[in-house]
Structure 1
Amino acid sequence: MSLRQVIKKISADLENEGDGAVVRKSITNIDPKAVELSSSEIPRAEEDGVEVKVIAGESMGVQSLSYTKVPIMFLDFTLQPRAQTHQTVPESWTAFAYVIDGEEGVFSTSDSSTVQAHSVVVFGKGDGVSVLNTSSSKLLRFLLIAGEPIGEPVVQHGPFVMNSQAEIDLTIGDYRNAKNGFEGAKSWRSE
């Protein structure tokens, strides 16, 4: 077994609006397919102080109900105080964790520094991720997200993420002209 080591820890800037999603070019223009599951319908497993909700992929012998065009893993873990878990991740995939709640999560064996809520942990090469909640009193909740590397160019402009500057220009034109999915964009408002 080759554990993934932490290669980067990022504390979230709560003012940041995000960078947008990156999608493989071969599936950018396919018809959307969505599965809406209530919280009670998401498969879950519990063992030794660890609960996992399997949104996509597989964990602790439980398979997700969601189908994804490209194989991914999207797991919502909650660790009781002093609990630990290990999740196998295909070695060729990239992986990161986002800590939702908790103050004392250790996300590798060689780096014993803790990670706090609203932080991202980016993992290097390996075939698994081990996590320990070192707190004696608080839960640790984090998302583990992994998938095949996209391996394509990425160009970003504001919330738009595409594979080339020409695609960005076309998308911005569609947005400004309220077409190709942006028909209601002029009236969109954040709450």
Structure 2
Amino acid sequence: MALSRISRQVAKKVLAVETPEGDGALVRRSIGSMKLRNLSPFLMLDHFHVSKGAGFPDHPHRGQATVTYMLEGSSRHEDSAGHKGIIVPGGVQWMCAGRGIIHAEMPVHEAGSPDPRGLQLWIDLPKQFKMVEPSYQELGPTEIPTAYPEGPDGPVKVKVISGKSHGVESPVRPLGGCWYFHAIFSKKDATVFQDIPAGWTAFIYTLKGSIKVGSEPIVHEQFYTLVLSGDETETGVQITAVDKDAEALIIAGAPLDQSVVQYGPFVMTSREEIQATLIDYQLGKNGFEKAHKWKSVIGGL
């Protein structure tokens, strides 16, 4: 017997205000801001805009995964493990920092092309995966599968970056549960219901236009993060487009029963682990062997 569809509702609403970040970039941060510090397993959500001359030069990470999803323009990346490439519009990079890596993320600016814009999500790694070797899962725009809840000619399509939507599954395999969808509407009042596992933390980011959530009449405008309720009877979330070109991200993850102790780009579960990380980085060991020798090419351009 199929489960009845009962939608989650909006439990908290936070506007992502644009602020400076990195070397001249602008970001709209919601998760990770003072208004929304803790949303396990999610640590940070930045909607970024990188103008010419700006970027994110060489910097380290440990203990989290970073997911970069490009909306417009392209971004180069290069790291201390020898991995490098370009994330193009519609592409995604799922980087598991694990025990330690140093990398650079720099925009590509070309005549006639828009400034790079996209989203970066930080996801806490389960304690048992904090010290794994760094790894990448990358998908170009044609490699991200798309679900059509009402068929290819219907008013809604869902890009399945990770997880499962309407019978379509992404090849991305995160360490720890995480589903990531981009819902795109082509018609006013179009509706989609996305299943979400019971007990998972879930939120929506209103990327373009306005939407309604569940049975509530409240209209949610662009650039808001909507934290969803998590009652055991709720099987997913219903989203209705208020504007014909509305777009929204739907992201959900298994919450972690562990402490979060963060020092900049290092995310561990205790102060002692952070202190050990700082020593590792200072001495260039346990994942940071190249910390004081490696310099990216793109970070100095």
Normalised-by-shorter TM-score class: 0.7 to 0.9
Alpha-carbon separation, structure 1, partners of 2:164 and 2:123 = 22
- Find out whether 1:68 has 2:171 as its counterpart: no
Comparing 66-75 and 92-101, the one that deviates more? 66-75
Which shifted more, 79-88 or 152-161?
A: 152-161
Structure 1 residue 77: deviation in Å? Answer: 1.1
Task: Note the C-alpha offset of 1:147.
Answer: 1.7
Counterpart secondary structure, 1:52: strand
Per the TM alignment, residue 165 of structure 1 is displaced from its structure 2 partner at its CA by 1.0
How far does the alpha carbon of each residue in 1:31-87 deviate from its partner, in whole angstroms, 9 at most, with x for none? 334222110111112233111111111112111112223232111111123211000
| TM-score normalized with structure 1 length | 0.85
**Aligned-pair CA distance for 1:7:** 0.6
User: Where does residue 127 of structure 1 map in the other structure?
Assistant: 235
Decide which of 204, 210, 219 is 1:114's aligned counterpart. 219
TM-score, with structure 2 as normaliser: 0.56
Partner of 2:38: none
Partner secondary structure for residue 142 of structure 2: helix
Verify the 8 A CA contact 2:130 2:268 in the aligned structure 1. Answer: no
Is 1:140 the equivalent of 2:222?
no
> CA RMSD of the aligned region, Å?
2.4
Q: 1:98 aligns with which of 191, 200, 205?
A: 205
The match for 1:15 is 19
Alignment partner of 1:50 out of 135, 149, 156: 156
Unaligned runs of 5+ in 1: none
CA distance in 2, matches of 1:65, 1:173: 36
The structural deviation recorded for 1:95 is: 0.6
C-alpha deviations, 1:70-109, integer Å up to 9, x for none? 232111111123211000111121111122222x111221
Identity fraction in percent: 33
Q: CA 1:190/1:51 → structure 2, altered by over 3 Å: closer, same or farther? A: farther
- Structure with higher RCO (Cα < 8 A, 6+ apart): 1
Counterpart contact for 1:42–1:55, Cα < 8 Å: yes
The number of residue pairs the alignment matches comes to: 187
Aligned counterpart in structure 1 of residue 6 of structure 2, from 2, 9, 12: 2
* Aligned CA distance change for structure 1 residues 87 and 166 (closer, same or farther; 3 Å): same
Please state which structure has a larger fraction of its residues in helix: 1
Q: Indicate the SS of the match to 1:115.
A: coil
Mapped contact 1:21–1:161 kept (Cα < 8 A): no
